[in-house]
Amino acid sequence: MSGPLIRLRGITKTYGQGATMLQALKGVNLDIDAGDFVAIMGPSGSGKSTAMNTLGGLDTPTSGEYLFQGLHVETLTRDQRARLRRRFFGFVFQGFNLLARTSAQENVELPLLYRGESAARRHAMAAKALDSVGLKGWEHHTPAELSGGQQQRVAIARAIVTEPAVLLADEPTGNLDTQRSREIMDLLWRLNVDHGITVLMVTHELDMAAYARRMVRFVDGVVASDERNPHPAGLHEAPPEPQVH
């Protein structure tokens, strides 16, 4: 593949019509290279969440081009975008979005079930993903038996179990205290550095954004600034092994 992993050109997104029309994105241009770690920031209503939904193939732009590995995503059907997401993207949300009555193992296996993997392969891949986020031995616990930090680790394991090229994290530390937030950011940093996963993270917290290699700030539906972070927080010291709390 030549060129960036992701390329947005002239992306607009309009909701509604007439007096109720809202233009959430107003011609966004953005390139993201494979292996990058990008923090997407901006005030409420700036367009950052709409941009994230577009990047993840959850929504389609009104106009403009979205190329992923050279493929024009904006031309894909709903089913084609779903297949693209299953193959290349993992998602982590602020609210964890775990199934309450199923175990950590079963939650992590869900994306593999949708892909039609065998039971044996699902079990093995989910166990590996949980181990990678520091939850070996917690496979059979339900969300109610896990702390917030542990639940977010399960959500991250679910997002990476399919070995995605891109991890999209929407306020992944928004429901966590400072210590758990740092542990989650250390984990995202390791996934980026050790596994080469491209991380795109929406956050309003500057100390969390400091882990990123690059900070993109949205204002009024456009990219207002796009700056490299010369000293990502993850480089300050070797991140500790994940602690289970």
In this structure, what CATH number is given to the domain that contains residue 111? 3.40.50.300
Residue 211 maps to a domain: yes
Average pLDDT over residues 85-101: 90
φ/ψ bin of 160: left (φ > 0), alpha (ψ from -120 to 50), beta (otherwise): alpha
Query: Does 125 map to a domain?
Result: yes
Q: Which of 23-37, 89-103, 199-213 has the lowest mean pLDDT?
A: 89-103
What mean pLDDT is predicted for residues 171-182? 90
Q: Is 81 helix (H, G, I), strand (E, B) or coil?
A: helix
Query: In this structure, is residue 147 part of a structural domain?
Result: yes
pLDDT on residue 43 = 93
What's the helix, strand, coil split of the chain in %, to 5?
Answer: 35, 25, 40
Instruction: Answer yes or no: is 66 within a domain.
Output: no
Q: Is 55 part of a structural domain of the chain? A: no
User: Is the residue at 208 inside a domain?
Assistant: yes
* Domain coverage including residue 175: 36-44+78-228
- Banded model confidence at residue 167, pLDDT cuts 50, 70, 90: very high
The C-alpha torsion from 35 through 180 and 216 to 158, rounded to 10°, is 50
Band of residue 236 on the pLDDT scale cut at 50, 70, 90: low
In this prediction, residue 18 has a pLDDT band, given cuts at 50, 70 and 90, of confident
Copy the structure tokens of residue 26.
């107003």
Taking only the tens place, the pLDDT of each residue in 181-192 is: 999 999 999 999
The answer as to whether 28 is a domain residue is no
Average pLDDT over residues 68-84: 95
Q: Which residues pair with 67 in a beta bridge?
A: 7, 72
How many domains does the chain divide into?
1
**Is residue 150 included in any domain, yes or no?**
yes
Specify burial of residue 147 (Cβ count, 10 A radius: 0-12, 13-18, 19+). middle
